[in-house]
Amino acid sequence: MTTPDLTTPSSIAPSITPRSSTGRSLGSTIVVFTRQTGAGLRVLLALTVLLGIVYPLAVTGIGQVVFPWQANGSLLAADGSHVNSVANGGQGVAIGSALVGQSFAGPTWFHPRPSGAGKGYDTLASAGSNLGPNNPDLLTTVQNRRVQVAAEDGVDPRSVPADAVTASGSGLDPEISPAYAREQVARIAAVRGLSADKVSALVESSIQGRTLGILGEPRVKVLALNLALAKMTV
Amino acid sequence: MSATSIAVAQILVLVIALVAVHIPLGGYMARVFTSTRHLRVERAGYRVLRVDPDADQRWSMYLMSVLGFSLVSVLFLYGLERLQAYLPLSLGISGMDPAGAWNTAVSFVTNTNWQWYSGETAAGHLLQMAGFAVQNFLSAAVGIAVVVALIRGLARSGADGRVGNFWSDLVRTVVRILLPISVVAAVVLIGMGVIQNLSAHTEIATLAGGSQHVLGGPVASQEAIKELGTNGGGFFNANSAHPFENPTPLSNLLEIFLLLAIPFSLPRTFGIMVGDRRQGWAIVGVMGTLWAGAVGLLTWAELAGRGLVPAAAGAAMEGKETRFGAAASALFAASTTSTSTGAVNSMHDSLTAAGGGVTIFNMQLGEISPGGTGSGLYGMLVLVIVAVFIAGLMVGRTPEYLGKKIGRQEITLVALYVLATPAIVLMGTAISIATPAGQAGILNSGAHGLSEVLYAFTSAANNNGSAFAGLTVATPFYNVLLGLAMLFGRFVPIALVLALAGRFASQKTVPASAGTLPTHRPLFAGLLLAVVLVVVGLTYIPVLALGPIAEALQ
């Protein structure tokens, strides 16, 4: 199966012992390596069928039966109901995923965070800015956003929370901090002609705390909030 | 509770889960690799594939099996990437260019999962499933197989360089360890919101009247093994920051747990197989100390949020998701770079200077705290031998570990191992900094720009795969050079480790005497810790001073 030359580490480690018959050793090494490579190809193809076809399809099958809503993207219809398929006309038309942020511009909506995904919340281009902690361009951007957000929401620039002026890692962050949601209440109530108390109550009831009290951060899902807001107005 | 105590509580939950799994998983893996019985399905497979699972291979034959298997893996994956336009479920995506396909094929076969491309636009579902996910399993299994060979070398006496059978180790790792855990983890992840379907990306109208694509794909099945196998290659560009890969704080904790579970349990497997569990405790103690130190430093750095941008924003939230915040992002970043995973739930390029420095230093430790599946433990065992050798020099005795003498040839192999990866990192960084093609990719100026390049080669040569992603690497220059760094960073150490395993297996085990250095006591663990830090420190401090340290002190 192998050659004497390969059983000692002289082929790797420096050694004062000269190699005796290099030609024969090399030839039989190539034969052995070719044989192992052939076995490797057979094993690879078999395991590709198991791990690359059977496994993902089995998990897909289980997922589609046990968690059909989640497995298909946690989609929501305009009335807030769950939709299991983008193309399912019977259930209502999906307007987005509960887990993925989308763009909301204009004063009538709760705004999400700034996004580095394409032109904003482009799911085909998930990305952060990748700008460093001392990058001068990012510093200017953050300072400008602070002034702009404060002006929109009619608050003191110093009170604007960090998530309102920074882009997330994915560019698809579905959530904002409770502080940023609360900051937008007065603007939205005024523009939509709603009572600030009602909008504020909506925000407070939408806040998700830390999981188990310690995991992650408190947050508010922007799409769910805006869906509820749209219903309230109608 | 203050932000700090909540962060600490989150870390403690993870530690408790890891401690709980250490003994059963470590013991189970030891049984897998010492059992003489094959499962019926395995036996049938060996017969069909004409592979002899009972041939006790010499280290050189074992190495040729590893290299032959990896060679066909690279070629097969390269072919899938180039030809994906003609495959089913390609979503109309064309094949990769030669340099990009080379880089990605090497990347996934070497357990690095460095990604120059964006998954959502460059890879169809079949390439993800039958190409990338398959290598997520197999590259992890190769790492485990190699460390099992080294453990056998240490455990056997006068065995003529025989270290076991690669095919049996590979198949058992896949069938008995990685696959069952992945199935369970994948289903749990779906329940938390990770998608699992074969749909194309479909455009819909959003609530505010815009449009957006709903993404499809078999994500959960890949996510599970991506973490469990310390691979780290994201289905989507944003990796575990993407809501469809990591939707909640709970899925975040599960993913961190998965990527640490096997590396932190293998020392138990090692202790059982060499017949002295205390040896495993000493190693897991050193690994755990290094990991805890990194987690502590990174959490402090991100919560403190030093730097011009964090100060202007009010917190270090650039590149971080709201649901994770600074604490859960720091915990993920420290764990993914302590193992050779390289998945990210925040953008490391936007970490604070000190936090980013910790991630680079973590990888430069050589991925041993606890490191990748298998590769972490063999890397640590090599440094154990360095520590034993230094201790032997200090007291003037022939150094030995577990009854094996550390002679001239053994220490030569170890020295080459210790030098190989830093040489690749520093040469690659120097070439890139010195050439226009390398400089062209840098996004951030000044010290941070050097950190981007240093991070790339550190990540590639240590088979991590995470990035300071501001660096534009989708160029032939970086694809070819980083591909070489990954290839040599993986297989040069593996060849040296298997040669070492063969040397040890050939030696007769010397019984312990009164003069034997005990390698399970806190004193030795402390020495090992010092060796790890000094070896890495002396190698990398100069370049770190020019990059992250210079930026942190600005």
Are the Cβ atoms of B322 and A163 closer than 8 angstroms?
Answer: yes
Is B318 within 8 Å of chain A by CB? yes
Per residue in A125-156, pLDDT (tens digit) is 999 999 999 999 999 999 999 999 999 999 99
Is A85 part of a structural domain of the chain? no
CA distance linking residue A221 with residue A189, whole number of Å: 18
Domain end residue (candidates: A43, A66, A89):
A66
Q: Are residues A59 and A110 in the same domain?
A: no
Q: Would you write out chain B's pLDDT as a tens digit for each of its 554 residues?
A: 788 999 999 999 999 999 999 999 999 999 999 999 999 999 999 999 999 999 999 999 999 999 999 999 999 999 999 999 999 999 999 999 999 999 999 999 999 999 999 999 999 999 999 999 999 999 999 999 999 999 999 999 999 999 999 999 999 999 999 999 999 999 999 999 999 999 999 999 999 999 999 999 999 999 999 999 999 999 999 999 999 999 999 999 999 999 999 999 999 999 999 999 999 999 999 999 999 999 999 999 999 999 999 999 999 999 999 999 999 999 999 999 999 999 999 999 999 999 999 999 999 999 999 999 999 999 999 999 999 999 999 888 889 999 999 999 999 999 999 999 999 999 999 999 999 999 999 999 899 999 999 999 999 999 999 999 899 999 999 999 999 999 999 999 999 999 999 999 999 999 988 888 999 999 999 999 999 999 887 899 999 999 999 998 87
CA distance linking residue B418 with residue B424, whole number of Å: 11
Q: Are residues A34 and A123 in the same domain?
A: no
The size of the A-B interface in CB pairs under 8 A is 412
- Write out the two tokens for B399: 């150094």
Is B61 within 8 Å of chain A by CB? yes
Is A7 part of a structural domain of the chain? no
What DSSP string runs through B379-398?
A: HHHHHHHHHHHHHHHHHTS-
Helix (H, G, I), strand (E, B) or coil at B211: strand
- Structure confidence at residue A88 (pLDDT): 56
Say which of B120, B130, B243 has its CB closest to residue A124.
B120
- Write out the two tokens for B170: 């590979």
Mutation for testing the B interface, residue in A42, A49, A59 having most B CBs under 10 Å: A59
Q: Are residues A127 and A216 in the same domain?
A: yes
User: A211 pLDDT exceeds 50?
Assistant: yes
- Structure confidence at residue A15 (pLDDT): 37
Say which of A95, A133, A173 has its CB closest to residue B321.
A173
Is B130 within 8 Å of chain A by CB? yes
Who contacts A61 (Cβ-Cβ below 8 Å, separation ≥6)?
none
Is A149 part of a structural domain of the chain? yes
Is A17 part of a structural domain of the chain? no
Q: Are residues A57 and A137 in the same domain?
A: no
Helix (H, G, I), strand (E, B) or coil at A83: strand
Closest chain B residue by Cα to residue A66? B191
Are the Cβ atoms of B186 and A97 closer than 8 angstroms?
Answer: no
Q: Using CB atoms and an 8 Å cut-off, which of residues 128-167 of chain A contact chain B? A: 128-136, 138-139, 142-143, 146, 160-163, 165-167
Q: Which residues of B touch A188 (CB under 8 A)?
A: none
Residue B524 distance to chain A (closest CA, Å): 28
- Structure confidence at residue A14 (pLDDT): 40
Residue B238 distance to chain A (closest CA, Å): 5
Per residue in A36-80, pLDDT (tens digit) is 999 999 999 999 999 999 999 999 999 999 999 999 999 999 999
- Structure confidence at residue A85 (pLDDT): 85
What DSSP string runs through B28-59?
A: HHHHHHH--PPPHHHHHHHHHHT--TT--EEH
Q: Give the containing element (helix H, strand E) for B544.
A: helix B522-544
pTM (predicted TM-score): 0.95
Q: Give the containing element (helix H, strand E) for B405.
A: strand B404-405
Looking at A4-18, A106-120, A217-231, B295-309, which range is the least confident one? A4-18
Q: Are residues A60 and A115 in the same domain?
A: no
ipTM of the complex: 0.96
Q: Are residues A106 and A62 in the same domain?
A: no
CA distance linking residue B80 with residue B96, whole number of Å: 9
Are the Cβ atoms of A59 and B551 closer than 8 angstroms?
Answer: no
Residue-range domain boundaries for chain B: 378-552
Q: Are residues A197 and A107 in the same domain?
A: yes
Q: Which residues of B touch A14 (CB under 8 A)?
A: 412
User: What is the separation, in whole angstroms, between the first and last Cα of chain A?
Assistant: 80
Q: Using CB atoms and an 8 Å cut-off, which of residues 41-70 of chain A contact chain B? A: 41-44, 46-48, 50-53, 55-56, 58-60, 62-64, 66-67, 70
Task: State how far the alpha carbon of B319 is from the alpha carbons of A90, A132, B221, B236, B415, in Å.
Answer: 39, 10, 26, 16, 39
Our CA dihedral for B266, B461, B244, A213, rounded to 10 degrees, sits at: 50
- Structure confidence at residue B538 (pLDDT): 84
Is A86 part of a structural domain of the chain? no
Domain that holds residue A226: 100-233
- Please give the tally of structural domains in chain A: 2
What DSSP string runs through A133-194?
A: TT-HHHHHHHHHHHHHHHHHHTS-GGG--GGGTS--SSS---EE-HHHHHHTHHHHHHHHT-
- How many C-alpha atoms does A73 have within 13 Å on its Cβ side? 27
Is A111 within 8 Å of chain B by CB? no
Helix (H, G, I), strand (E, B) or coil at A13: coil
Are the Cβ atoms of B65 and A105 closer than 8 angstroms?
Answer: no
CA distance linking residue B154 with residue B507, whole number of Å: 9
Q: Are residues A134 and A225 in the same domain?
A: yes
